[in-house]
Amino acid sequence: MTETDVAIVESRADRASVHICDQLRELADWTERRDETRPDADGGGTFYTLAGFDGVELRSFETLHIELESPADAFDCDPDLLVFASRHSGDTGALLTGHFTGNFGPAEYGGDEDAVAEACPNALAELLAAFDEFAPEGYDVGMECTHHGPTNVGCPSLFAELGSDDEQWDDPEGARAVARGILEIARDGVAPHRDRQLVGFGGNHYAPRFERVVRETPWAVGHIAADWALESMGHPTAHREVIDAAFDASQADVALLDGEWPVLESTLDEAGHRVVSETWLREVGDRPFDLIDAVESDLGTVDEGIRFGEHHEPSFAVVDLPGDLIDTAEGIDPERVRAIIEAHTVAFTTENGGSRVGTQFALPEGATRLELVEELARVLESAYETVTVETSEMIAGEADAGADTGAETDMDTDADANANVDTAVNAVVAEKTAFDPALAQEAGVPEGPKFGALANGEPVTVDGEEIAPDRVERRQIDRFEI
């Protein structure tokens, strides 16, 4: 038995569907059964159950899939998921594709107008992954927006399609690939849903943005109303019911838009559906929702530049660090600084579109600012001769009153082992001997290449006089107040 009971629909009016289901019957062991309670045209007569998986059932219907009404009722397994094995028609060449059904507006090709079938976003994501694995050479794999009927299926459903013309509909290898994809999700007992699902609006019929989300993030995509569907639907406020139905049928509460749809975005907001960016989806990833909510409440939103660290604890403290310390460390080794910040934080602010670390950090419960400062101080060591972290020991509970012991430690000093004493970070002090342009000018060195040579520790000659680097050097002390 599988965890998910799967119904597979074959349409005898669709020769690609017949070829796919012929391949299904060849690829696996099936038990042939009879159902005399239903007409052969409506899924009765001979049907098949997958050997070892009584919850996987294949039935044939006379009519096209798009004209079926509640086909799930024909199955004994009480399906959790229904798959329509179908052809795909279009000017898209050899293509394996999948999509959900429904009409955002008039019902020109089956189903009811302004209605959508129950979607199965997780199953579609897994089907696309299987298509990637099994697609014959020369075939593309893709997903489509929501279109055509049926809208009343009786359980979550999807179309698994072989396209896009006569050559592919009669191609045994193409039919075999679709069949293997269907078998993969049936045998694995793939659930219709996952805990991260969204509804898509906008974009073209073949939904490249939403397919990218499915392939590259933990999120699955339910119903998609492409540009043409939104135009067919008309003004969003007059079609709130089908918009709300798309969220319900997708078991989703967030939306991603492809393109500029200000009226739609306002309508979604008024209806209580959160519109998120693709950046938000990528950044939150698989992190707990209570953590995401806490961070965006206390630190800022992802669209404002918040990025997440490696800690997933929803309990954290927000601390500040001086921008000059961060900027100096990033100027030395930006990748190392980013890795340090991510390793020590729950989340942090950024600048320049997320490319540079900001100055506020959410530290997990039990972590200290000292640990983070010491790591950044170690980055400075590669560009400075000495680096010291100045600290003071604060009596626990009296920090606000300014009670401290007056102690000072270097950057390798650990926090006080006494649980009644906190270690406060006061400053990072970095020192080095550095080239001083003013001293070089006083020595008569002209600006230009000779400045660069002296800065690199090489002597230069001016009017026959050799100028040594140490003659134009000065002790530089950079103090970063915490």
Which residue from 378, 368, 367, 366 is spatially nearest to 325, judged by alpha carbons? 378
Say what the pLDDT of residue 215 is.
Answer: 97
Q: Which of 232, 220, 227, 249 lies closest to 154, judged by CA? A: 249
Average pLDDT over residues 416-432: 75
- Closest residue by Cα to residue 256 from 287, 277, 228, 231: 277
Q: What's the whole-number mean pLDDT along residues 331-349?
A: 98
Please state, rounded to an integer, the average pLDDT across all residues of the chain.
Answer: 92
Sign of the torsion formed by the C-alpha atoms of 46, 51, 54 and 57? negative
Q: Is the pLDDT of residue 413 over 80?
A: no
- Going by their DSSP bridges, the two strands 347-351 and 356-364 should be labelled as antiparallel
pLDDT given for residue 421 in this prediction: 54
Residue 191 CB-half CA count within 13 A: 7
Q: Percentage of residues in the chain with pLDDT exceeding 90? A: 84
Least confident of 1-5, 213-217, 389-393: 1-5
Q: How far apart (Å, rounded) are the C-alpha atoms in residues 385 and 383?
A: 7
Summarize the confidence of residues 418-426 as an average pLDDT. 68
Write the pLDDT tens digit of every residue in 272-300: 999 999 999 999 999 999 999 999 999 99
Q: Give the E-state strand segments of 136-268 in sequence order.
A: 140-143, 157-164, 197-202, 220-225, 254-258
- This prediction has a pTM of 0.86
Tell me the H-state helices in 193-288: 208-216, 227-233, 240-250, 262-270, 278-284
Token digits of residue 289: 């929702």
CB of 26 within 8 A of CB of 80?
no
pLDDT at residue number 417: 41
- Residue 406 scores a pLDDT above 60: no
Query: pLDDT tens-digit profile of 151-185?
Result: 999 999 999 999 999 999 999 999 999 999 999 99
Q: What is the pLDDT of residue 453?
A: 87
What's the pLDDT score for residue 2?
53
d(CA 84, CA 79): 13
Ranking 124-138, 226-240, 436-450 by mean pLDDT, the lowest is: 436-450
**pLDDT per residue as tens digits for the range 200-223:** 999 999 999 999 999 999 999 999
Give the per-residue pLDDT at 414: 45
In tens, the pLDDT along 97-141 reads 999 999 999 999 999 999 999 999 999 999 999 999 999 999 999
Smallest CA-to-CA distance from 84 within 1, 142, 151, 168 is with 151
Band of pLDDT at residue 395, cut at 50, 70 and 90:
low
Please give the angle made by the CA atoms of 311, 314 and 316, to the nearest 5 degrees: 75
Given pLDDT bands bounded at 50, 70 and 90, which one contains residue 396? low
Q: Quote the pLDDT of residue 442.
A: 87
- In the prediction, which pLDDT does 104 show? 97
- Reference 391, options 403, 378, 405, 402; nearest CA is 405
Picking from 140, 102, 107, the residue whose alpha carbon sits closest to that of residue 226 is: 102
Q: For residue 52, which of 68, 72, 28 has the smallest C-alpha distance?
A: 28
